[in-house]
């Protein structure tokens, strides 16, 4: 069974996507549907003095804070973000009101004619040296954590070398091809939301609290979703609340679909980070201790920054076994769009910092960076950053060997050196990383407590009822495979429709690389139960709820224990060549080995790897998003550049497998891991090509030119 589950099958959603029949929000037309467009703040921080609306034609509405029947706060970990701005605005693009009506042109004209008067306040636009009054709390942080392991004093005392560096990473926009959108409908006292979403129950909770209504009066249905990558984790809750208020006011369905420019300006992005690392290294080049300080630019509202920060902190030591740690983390409030989830969720930033740091430390000491890294690797039985035991075998040494072999790394490092002497700027870099799968810390066991249900009808068809969504990753196929294999049924006797909160239990959000490993296992267990009580021709139903596996421990106050139950691992190599005049890079090769446990479908896995790698290479090389004075410079898809088919060579990938005992068929998480390592390998390749040190992402040619001109090479 283990091997046959990996054999690819036809995606169940392929036919509709190929024929164009798949129905996304922009394709849905409800009867009498109106359109809404958002009036957005034009100042990063200001008091709203007055808003003057033009006279509205019949059938057109303004919807704002006065139309929120319940709480005008999006329900989150910290409820600080209003659906519609109240007395102040805190970022450019913050929603103030909706204009709703039938004709989009009329709506646009009305929007142009609105006059908003602001009184400017001093904005907070960077994360260092804040002088303006805080946006949140006393120290302007949504989260401020520290984590200690061992005794850093000991490391300090025993150090023969001390190495310190500062690493910075920029924004990254998810750039799912389908912009965010929802449709709200109000019928007989009940609100239905159709949306391009990752987390139906997050949306439901937010709308219930926005409307102050009974939970049974709010229903969320996922529409076909054109990519998400974390971007549709929390932001749709805001849109859904707004559209619900509008639908109630107008008495007609309302479609709130962002255009690309709004989506770029106003929705969540990957947190920019500034990470300071200081390592204490002994005579024999063992790392005795590490001090880390992580600052994330969280934007104007808390969102999920605290959780992103935890993941970044727990990844701060990378794949290295470091006994003494002191890690400080802050998510700092600034007057910019809210930073949020994006594939990797804090770990791309943290792994970039530690991998570059290790490389630079080795160079400073005068030893081979790869040897330095390998001699400090974690292995089975070692303790994680949070002092949890790494229970499963860690295949990193074998994975590194294989990537070295596939990429010809060692020979290339040699031959490129010779070629560089005659002016060819070629380089190759290698990264090692992990991803803790499932929610961080106590998320799964204390907060989500995922529940799944399987029903069987009298025709012996089985339906999977879970809240997890198909957003391109293939969950509709993998879940069916898991259930079918467990019950030994043909795949087409399994049904799995897009979730509708009136029908599915809360199996949690579609995030954190948790769907296969956590929800998939529950589906598997439920399938076995259903099989046991199987009676042909009789209807039945089973449920399963998440149980924290025995032997694992987590203390959320001290951040100690098993931050994750399972880890996936990766090793990536990237080869580049730079133009000696412009310093623009061409990616010549990408090689990857991942351990994601037992793959549920080889072809879907391959798709996740390719997609994640390319997003990672975009993050490292071309996806520039700058915020100047509170305004993003890249506000259209012609300014924000993502990779095209031209930019990417063939990606060579292999898998190694250390199965996870509590995953379905031994599977572990996959989606996010694939983005983490490529940016680092790319940066290291450029670093190698130019014999410099790189400590900033994205790596920009203009910056390289400056460094090279300064003769600042390593």
Contacting residues toward ligand FES, per CB under 6 A: 177, 227, 472
Which lies closer to other proteins via its Cβ, residue 174 or residue 386?
A: 174
Which lies closer to ligand FES via its Cβ, residue 473 or residue 598?
A: 473
CA distances from 385 to 28, 163, 312, 350, 524 (A): 47, 19, 11, 13, 31
Segments in 498-553 forming alpha helices (H): 520-532
What span, in angstroms and rounded, lies between the C-alpha atoms of 203 and 224?
Answer: 16
**Taking CB under 8 A as the criterion, which residues in 578-607 touch other proteins?**
603-604, 606-607
**Site for other proteins contains 648 (CB under 8 A):** yes
Residue 384 contact partner, candidates other proteins, ligand FES, none, CB within 5 to 8 A by sort of partner: none
Q: Nearest-5° angle of CA 462, CA 670, CA 236?
A: 75
**Site for other proteins contains 624 (CB under 8 A):** no
| Closest CB 27 distance from other proteins, rounded Å | 4
User: In the numeric block, which tokens belong to residue 53?
Assistant: 């609306």
Which lies closer to other proteins via its Cβ, residue 505 or residue 643?
A: 643
Identify the residue among 154, 156, 260, 529 touching other proteins (CB under 8 A): 260
**Site for other proteins contains 11 (CB under 8 A):** yes
**Taking CB under 8 A as the criterion, which residues in 219-238 touch other proteins?**
224-229
**Site for other proteins contains 573 (CB under 8 A):** no
**Site for other proteins contains 157 (CB under 8 A):** no
Which lies closer to other proteins via its Cβ, residue 93 or residue 179?
A: 179
Q: Among 108, 315, 91, 304, which residue's Cα sits nearest to residue 206?
A: 304
Identify the residue among 1, 422, 646, 709 touching other proteins (CB under 8 A): 646
What span, in angstroms and rounded, lies between the C-alpha atoms of 543 and 505?
Answer: 9
Which lies closer to other proteins via its Cβ, residue 229 or residue 662?
A: 229
Torsion of CA 680, 682, 684, 686, to 10 degrees: -150
What span, in angstroms and rounded, lies between the C-alpha atoms of 108 and 102?
Answer: 11
Q: Among 295, 385, 310, 386, which residue's Cα sits nearest to residue 341?
A: 310
- DSSP secondary-structure letter at 73? S
What span, in angstroms and rounded, lies between the C-alpha atoms of 708 and 583?
Answer: 9
Start-to-end C-alpha separation, the chain: 53
**Taking CB under 8 A as the criterion, which residues in 161-180 touch other proteins?**
174-179
Which lies closer to other proteins via its Cβ, residue 29 or residue 120?
A: 29
Which residue's beta carbon is nearest to the bound ligand FES? Answer: 177
**Site for other proteins contains 10 (CB under 8 A):** yes
Identify the residue among 318, 472, 570, 659 touching other proteins (CB under 8 A): 472
What span, in angstroms and rounded, lies between the C-alpha atoms of 699 and 583?
Answer: 10
HSE of 300, CA atoms in CB hemisphere, 13 A:
25
- CB-CB neighbours of 383 under 10 Å: 16
| Closest CB 52 distance from other proteins, rounded Å | 28
| Closest CB 512 distance from ligand FES, rounded Å | 20
What span, in angstroms and rounded, lies between the C-alpha atoms of 349 and 314?
Answer: 12
User: In the numeric block, which tokens belong to residue 539?
Assistant: 């209807």
**Site for other proteins contains 424 (CB under 8 A):** no
The answer to whether the CB of 378 falls within 8 A of the CB of 321 is yes
Identify the residue among 7, 21, 189, 558 touching other proteins (CB under 8 A): 21
Count interface residues toward other proteins (CB under 8 A). 57
Which lies closer to other proteins via its Cβ, residue 223 or residue 309?
A: 223
| Closest CB 405 distance from other proteins, rounded Å | 21
Q: Among 380, 403, 344, which residue's Cα sits nearest to residue 656?
A: 403
| Closest CB 574 distance from other proteins, rounded Å | 14
| Closest CB 177 distance from ligand FES, rounded Å | 4
Identify the residue among 7, 17, 393, 547 touching other proteins (CB under 8 A): 17
Q: Among 675, 666, 673, 5, which residue's Cα sits nearest to residue 392?
A: 666
| Closest CB 140 distance from ligand FES, rounded Å | 37
Looking up tokens 């089985």 gives 462
**Site for other proteins contains 8 (CB under 8 A):** yes
**Taking CB under 8 A as the criterion, which residues in 240-259 touch other proteins?**
259
CA distances from 224 to 103, 180, 218, 341 (A): 25, 12, 20, 20
What span, in angstroms and rounded, lies between the C-alpha atoms of 291 and 325?
Answer: 6
Which lies closer to other proteins via its Cβ, residue 176 or residue 554?
A: 176
| Closest CB 177 distance from other proteins, rounded Å | 4
Which lies closer to other proteins via its Cβ, residue 43 or residue 623?
A: 623
**Taking CB under 8 A as the criterion, which residues in 84-113 touch other proteins?**
105
Provide the residue count of the chain: 714
The answer to whether the CB of 394 falls within 8 A of the CB of 471 is no
Residue 495 contact partner, candidates other proteins, ligand FES, none, CB within 5 to 8 A by sort of partner: none
| Closest CB 611 distance from ligand FES, rounded Å | 8
Residues of this chain that bind other proteins (CB under 8 A): 8, 10-11, 13-14, 16-24, 26-27, 105, 174-179, 224-229, 259-260, 471-474, 603-604, 606-607, 609-615, 636-638, 642-646, 648, 650-651
């Amino acid at each position: 069974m283990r091997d046959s589950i990996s054999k690819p099958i036809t995606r169940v959603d392929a036919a509709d996507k190929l024929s164009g029949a798949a129905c996304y929000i922009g394709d849905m037309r409800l009867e009498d549907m109106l359109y809404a467009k958002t009036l957005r703040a034009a100042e990063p921080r200001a008091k709203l003095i007055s808003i003057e609306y033009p006279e509205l034609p019949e059938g057109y509405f303004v919807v704002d804070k006065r139309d929120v029947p319940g709480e005008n706060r999006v329900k989150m970990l910290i409820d600080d973000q209003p659906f519609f701005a109240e007395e102040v605005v805190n970022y450019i693009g913050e929603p103030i009101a909706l204009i709703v009506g039938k004709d989009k042109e009329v709506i646009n004209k009305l929007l142009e004619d609105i006059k908003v008067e602001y009184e400017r306040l001093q904005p907070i636009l960077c994360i260092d040296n804040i002088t303006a009054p805080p946006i949140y709390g006393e120290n302007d942080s949504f989260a401020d954590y520290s984590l200690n392991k061992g005794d850093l004093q000991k490391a300090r005392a025993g150090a023969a070398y001390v190495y310190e560096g500062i690493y910075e990473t920029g924004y990254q926009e998810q750039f799912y091809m389908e912009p965010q959108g929802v449709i709200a409908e109000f019928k007989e006292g009940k609100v239905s939301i159709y949306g391009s979403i990752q987390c139906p129950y997050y949306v439901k909770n937010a709308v219930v609290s926005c409307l102050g209504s009974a939970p049974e009066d709010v229903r969320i249905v996922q529409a076909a979703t054109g990519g998400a990558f974390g971007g549709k984790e929390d932001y749709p809750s805001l849109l859904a609340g707004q559209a619900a208020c509008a639908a109630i006011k107008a008495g007609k369905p309302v479609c709130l679909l962002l255009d690309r420019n709004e989506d770029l300006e106003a929705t969540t992005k990957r947190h920019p980070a500034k990470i300071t690392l200081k390592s204490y290294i002994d005579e024999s080049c063992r790392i005795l201790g590490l001090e880390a300080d992580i600052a994330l630019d969280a934007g104007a509202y808390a969102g999920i920054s605290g959780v992103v920060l935890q993941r970044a902190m727990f990844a701060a030591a990378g794949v290295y076994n470091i006994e003494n740690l002191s890690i400080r983390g802050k998510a700092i409030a600034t007057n910019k769009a809210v930073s949020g989830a994006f594939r990797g969720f804090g770990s791309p930033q943290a792994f970039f910092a530690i991998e570059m740091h290790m490389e630079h430390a080795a160079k400073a000491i005068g030893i081979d960076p790869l040897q330095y890294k390998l001699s400090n690797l974690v292995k089975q039985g070692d303790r994680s950053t949070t002092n949890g035991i790494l229970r499963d075998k860690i295949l990193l040494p074998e994975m590194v060997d294989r990537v070295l072999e596939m990429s010809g790394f060692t020979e290339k490092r040699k031959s490129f050196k010779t070629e560089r002497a005659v002016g060819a700027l070629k380089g190759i870099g290698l990264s090692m990383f992990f991803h803790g799968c499932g929610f961080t810390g106590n998320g799964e066991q204390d907060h989500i407590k995922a529940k799944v249900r399987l029903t069987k009808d009298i025709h012996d068809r089985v339906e999977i009822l879970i809240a997890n969504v198909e957003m391109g990753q293939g969950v509709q196929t993998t879940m069916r495979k898991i259930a079918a294999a467990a019950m030994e049924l043909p795949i087409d006797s399994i049904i799995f429709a897009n979730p509708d909160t009136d029908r599915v239990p809360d199996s949690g959000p579609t995030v954190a690389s948790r769907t296969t490993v956590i929800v998939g296992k529950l589906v598997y267990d439920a399938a076995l139960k259903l099989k046991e009580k199987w009676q042909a021709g009789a209807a039945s139903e089973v449920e399963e709820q998440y149980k924290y596996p025995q032997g694992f421990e987590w203390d959320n106050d001290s951040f100690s224990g098993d931050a994750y139950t399972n880890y996936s691992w990766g090793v990536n190599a990237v080869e580049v060549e730079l133009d000696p005049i412009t310093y623009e890079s061409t990616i010549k090769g990408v090689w990857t080995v991942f351990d994601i446990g037992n793959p549920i479908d080889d072809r879907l896995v391959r798709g996740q790897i390719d997609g994640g790698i390319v997003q990672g290479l975009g993050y490292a090389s071309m996806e520039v998003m700058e915020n100047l004075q509170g305004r993003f410079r890249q506000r259209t898809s012609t300014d924000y550049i993502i990779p095209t088919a031209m930019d990417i060579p063939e990606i060579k990938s292999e898998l190694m497998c250390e199965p996870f005992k509590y995953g379905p068929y031994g599977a572990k998480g996959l989606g996010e891991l694939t983005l983490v390592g490529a940016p680092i390998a790319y940066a290291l390749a450029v670093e190698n090509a130019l014999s410099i040190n790189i400590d900033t992402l994205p790596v920009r040619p203009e910056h390289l030119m400056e460094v090279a001109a300064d003769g600042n090479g390593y």
